[in-house]
Amino acid sequence: MEHESVPLYWRNIPAYYRLVAKRCKKCGEVYYPPVVKCTKCGSAELEDYQLPHEGELVEFTVLRSVPTDFLKQKPLVIGLVKLGPVKVLGQIVDAMPEKLKPGQRMEVVFRRVVVDGKYGLVMYGYKFRPRP
Amino acid sequence: MKVGIVSWGAYIPKYRIRTEDIAATWGDDPQRIIDIYLVYEKSVEGYDEDAVTIATEAARRALRRGNVDPKKIGAVYSGTESKPYAVKPISSILIDALGLPNNVFAVDMEFACKAASDGIVAITGLVESGRIEYGLAVGTDTSQGEPGEHLDYSASSGGVAYVIGKDGVAAEFEAIYTYNSDTPDFWRREGSPYPMHGEGFTGEPAYFRHVVGAAKGVMEKYGYKVSDFAYAIFHQPNGRFPMRAATILGFPPEKVKPGIVVTHIGNTYNASALMGLARVLEQAKPGDKILLVTFGSGAGSNAFVLNVTDAVLERQKADVPKVDEMLADKIYVDYATYLKNRKMIKLFE
Ligand SMILES: [Zn+2]
């Protein structure tokens, strides 16, 4: 599979690692993934906005047919988690799907997301898991 | 105010494998294995976890427990013997994973299971000299042994992180002492998948000589006796060694048992004794003195005398998972899943 390029991964590190979002300085709208222009008011003046690392599970689904980078992690649990003002999509780990319930407390964790073969870069990023 | 531990965080991956399931795979008698090592089960990382992710979780919890501003961290030192990269530090990844400033001393340290405690020593010096305000010492490992061999029953995964500073200290360092020598007890050559042991070196010439040497050294040099301590914590490659070290030094079992975690998570290497310390700090009272002795093959030990302060009560109340909670929060896996999660099954990549 074609992975994200090393420069692109590097540019996205604050967003991937720490969930640094963007907030419009004019109207206050928050964007994750980050954007360069506010789609609500059109302003290009955005500032970094740190999302909280805990939130509430909104929805989740269990994928049994998965992208090639995740073939060895079937089934893949993907969830939408409300983190402050935004809902963020991500993988859910360390959980039995039958025990997950919308509304439950989730925490952000730091995990391997893509490993570029045997010799390439290990790309890290956020995932979610039930808050212990 | 003396330099000491401002805050701490521990992370134990959620998966466990029982000793009996390992023994069943390799035709060992599980009761005999448990009798030898006193390890009932051990922690196993998730498929997407490694020493970097484990370090990050422990460090985030340490910062959260003490409400420490990451921008005030002036050094991050990671002790490990299971780096995902042969060349590329864990500590630099931690800078961005934790939001530390770029003006932060960062390096990975290796001395088998002892390196994380050398990170603590180095950071204590940097804080004492006034060069930095706070430092973060991390111990993280996903260590492996050859499947079916002795280490397969104990080598496990986990991490700890300690914020060291002068402000808001929960446990002061009253004394530090070290004992090191060239001892061929355990090694792993570059490119070798599993470590090897020097026949007959593991116990007396390695573990006991250095652990007891450092413990006696710190007590003699700084004038402590066994009765001064509420707790003694030793590196724990298995459940027997720390109890025996305690007996040699004259510590009663009740002062040692609270710091023993190996029986239920295995040997987390650089997080081993320091995980025991985290568990003890989660129950200690102001005024308690703690003796902590780490050990790394090769070989060496660092001994620390800690004095618990009033601030420990505040840290204990923080909304951060306790070691005991993590010990209880687990999902058992079978031996095949264990091999998969530890990336020990050969795949096309
Ligand atoms: Zn706007």
CA distance B348 to chain A (A): 8
What SS3 state is found at B324?
helix
d(CA B84, CA B90): 8
Residues of B with CB under 8 A from a CB of A: 14, 46-50, 52-53, 56-57, 60, 84-85, 93, 96-99, 321, 325-326, 329, 331, 340, 347, 349
Same domain, residue pair B212 and B136: no
**Which of B14, B56, B325 lies nearest to residue A110, judging by beta carbons?**
B56
Q: What backbone phi and psi angles, to 5 degrees, belong to B233?
A: -125, 130
Question: Chain B residues with CB inside 8 Å of A117's CB?
Answer: 349
Let me know whether B190 and B331 are in one domain. no
Q: Do B93 and A124 touch (CB under 8 A)?
A: yes
**Does the pLDDT of residue B348 top 90, yes or no?**
no
According to the model, what pLDDT value does residue B201 have? 80
Residue A34, pLDDT above cutoff 60: yes
Check residue B22 and give its pLDDT.
Answer: 98
Q: Which two tokens stand for residue B105?
A: 């001393």
DSSP assignment of B3-61 equals: -EEEEEEEE--SEEEEHHHHHHHHT--HHHHHHHH---EEEE--TT--HHHHHHHHHHH
Mean pLDDT of A14-28: 98
DSSP-assigned letter for residue B206: I
Helix (H) or strand (E) holding B280: helix B272-281
Average pLDDT for residues A60-79, to the nearest whole number? Answer: 93
Same domain, B242 and B195: yes
Rg (CA), chain A: 16
In a domain, A74, yes or no: yes
- Determine whether B197 is an active site residue: no
Residues B293-309 pLDDT 10s: 999 999 999 999 999 99
Which pLDDT tens digit goes with each residue over B46-104? 999 999 999 999 999 999 999 999 999 999 999 999 999 999 999 999 999 999 999 99
pLDDT value for B198: 83
User: Could you tell me the CATH number of the domain that includes residue B93?
Assistant: 3.40.47.10
Considering the candidates B172, B235, B264, B282, report the single residue annotated as catalytic: B235
Which of B53, B96, B99 lies nearest to residue A112, judging by beta carbons? B53
- A13 touches B: beta carbon within 8 Å: yes
Give the whole-angstrom CA distance, residue B146 versus residue B123: 34
pLDDT for the residue numbered A45: 98
Strand-pairing partners, residue B42, are B17
Flag whether B211 is in a domain.
yes
Q: Considering only residues 89 to 128 of chain A, which have any Cβ-Cβ distance to chain B shorter than 8 Å?
A: 93-94, 96, 109-113, 115, 117-118, 122, 124, 127
Q: Quick check: is A23 in a domain?
A: no
Could you tell me if residue A36 is inside a domain? no
Give the confidence band of A101 by pLDDT, cuts at 50, 70, 90: very high
Rounded to the nearest angstrom, the distance between the alpha carbon of A24 and the centre of ligand 1 is: 5
* Cβ(B166)–Cβ(B276) below 8 Å: no
Cβ-defined contacts of A17-20 (< 8 Å, 24+): A17/A110, A17/A124, A17/A125, A17/A126, A17/B96, A17/B97, A18/A50, A18/A126, A18/B96, A18/B97, A18/B98, A18/B99, A19/A50, A19/A51, A19/A53, A19/A83, A19/A88, A19/A108, A19/A126, A20/A48, A20/A49, A20/A50, A20/A51
- Beta-carbon count within 10 A of B288 CB: 18
> Are residues B142 and B234 located together in one domain of the fold?
no
- pLDDT greater than 70 at residue B105: yes
B113 is catalytic: yes
Q: Which two tokens stand for residue B94?
A: 């931690």
Alpha carbon distance A64, A61 (integer Å): 10
Q: Which of B16, B48, B87 to mutate to test the interface with A (most CBs of A within 10 A)?
A: B48
Question: What is the spatial distance between Cα B23 and Cα B29, in angstroms, rounded to a whole number?
Answer: 6
Going from the Cα of B285 to the center of ligand 1, the distance in angstroms, rounded, reads: 52
B33 with B113, same domain: the answer is yes
- Whether residue B210 is contained in a domain is answered as yes
CA distance A125 to chain B (A): 9
User: Percent of chain B scored above 90 by pLDDT?
Assistant: 95
Measured between beta carbons, the chain A residues lying within 8 angstroms of B84 are: 122
Tens-place pLDDT, residues B117-127: 999 999 999 99
Q: B157 and B13: one domain?
A: yes
pLDDT (tens digit, 9 = 90+) per residue, B165-214? 999 999 999 999 999 999 999 999 998 989 998 877 888 899 999 999 99
Characterise B173 by phi-psi region: left (phi > 0), alpha (psi -120 to 50), beta (else): beta
Mutate to test the interface with B, among A111, A126, A129, A131 (most CBs of B within 10 A): A111
Q: How many CB pairs under 8 A join A and B?
A: 53
In a shared domain, residues B129 and B200: no
Tokens of B224: 């402590």
Do B240 and B328 lie in one domain? The reply is no
Q: Are both B162 and B234 inside the same structural domain?
A: no
**Which of these, B46, B57, B74, B112, lies nearest to B267 by C-alpha position?**
B112
**Which residue out of B81, B210, B264, B282 is catalytically annotated?**
B81
Confidence of residue A2 (pLDDT cuts 50, 70, 90): low
Angle of helix B90-98 relative to helix B51-65, nearest 10 degrees, comes to 40
**CA atoms within a 13 Å half-sphere pointing along the CA-CB vector of B62:** 36
E-strand spans in chain B? 4-11, 15-18, 41-44, 73-79, 105-109, 134-142, 157-165, 171-180, 186-187, 196-197, 231-234, 289-293, 300-308, 331-332
Question: Could you write out the DSSP letters of every residue in B173-185?
Answer: EEEEEEEE----S
Q: What is the ipTM of this complex?
A: 0.96
Where b means 16+ CB within 10 Å and e means fewer, A9-38 reads beebbebbbbbbbbbbeeeebbbbebeeeb
Are B10 and B146 members of one domain? yes
End-to-end CA distance of chain A: 34
Is B317 inside any structural domain?
A: no
Please give the residue range of the domain that contains residue B23: 4-170+323-341
Shared domain check, B16 and B64: yes
In a domain, A77, yes or no: yes
Range of the structural domain that residue A99 is part of? 6-12+52-130
Residues of B whose CB is below 8 A from A17? 96-97
From the list A74, A78, A131, the residue with the least C-alpha distance to A108 is A131
Is residue B151 a part of any domain in this protein? Answer: yes
A26, part of any domain: no
Residue A115 has pLDDT above 80, yes or no: yes
- State the total domains in chain B: 2
8 A C-beta contact, residue B174 and residue B285: no
Which three-class secondary structure state does DSSP give residue B284?
coil
- A77/B contact by beta carbon, under 8 A: no
Token pair in block for residue B324: 């005991």
Cα(A43) to centroid(ligand 1), Å: 5
The answer to whether residue A1 scores a pLDDT higher than 70 is no
| Average pLDDT score over residue span B321-334 | 98
Total structural domains within chain A: 1
Q: Does some domain include residue A28? A: no
The encoded tokens of residue B77 equal 């030192």
As given in the structure block, the two tokens for residue B114 are 């002892």
Q: Answer yes or no: is B256 within a domain.
A: yes
d(CA B291, CA B280): 11
pLDDT at site B277:
98
* Cβ-Cβ contacts under 8 Å for B327 (sequence gap 6 or more): B12, B261, B264, B265
Give the Å distance between the CA of B99 and the centre of ligand 1: 26
Contact B50, A115 (CB under 8 A): no
* Greatest C-alpha distance within chain A: 46
pLDDT at residue number B256: 98
With CA atoms as reference, the chain B residue closest to A1 would be: B349
Alpha carbons B320 and B8: distance in angstroms, whole number: 10
Mean pLDDT, chain B, whole residue set? 97
Phi/psi of residue B169, nearest 5 degrees: -75, 130
| Ligand 1: centre distance to CA B98 (Å) | 28
| B19 and B153 in a common domain | yes
SS3 content of chain A, % helix, strand, coil (to 5): 15, 45, 40
Q: In this complex, do B49 and A132 lie within 8 Å of one another by their Cβ atoms?
A: no
Active site residue B81: yes
What is the pLDDT confidence band of residue A68, given thresholds at 50, 70 and 90?
A: confident
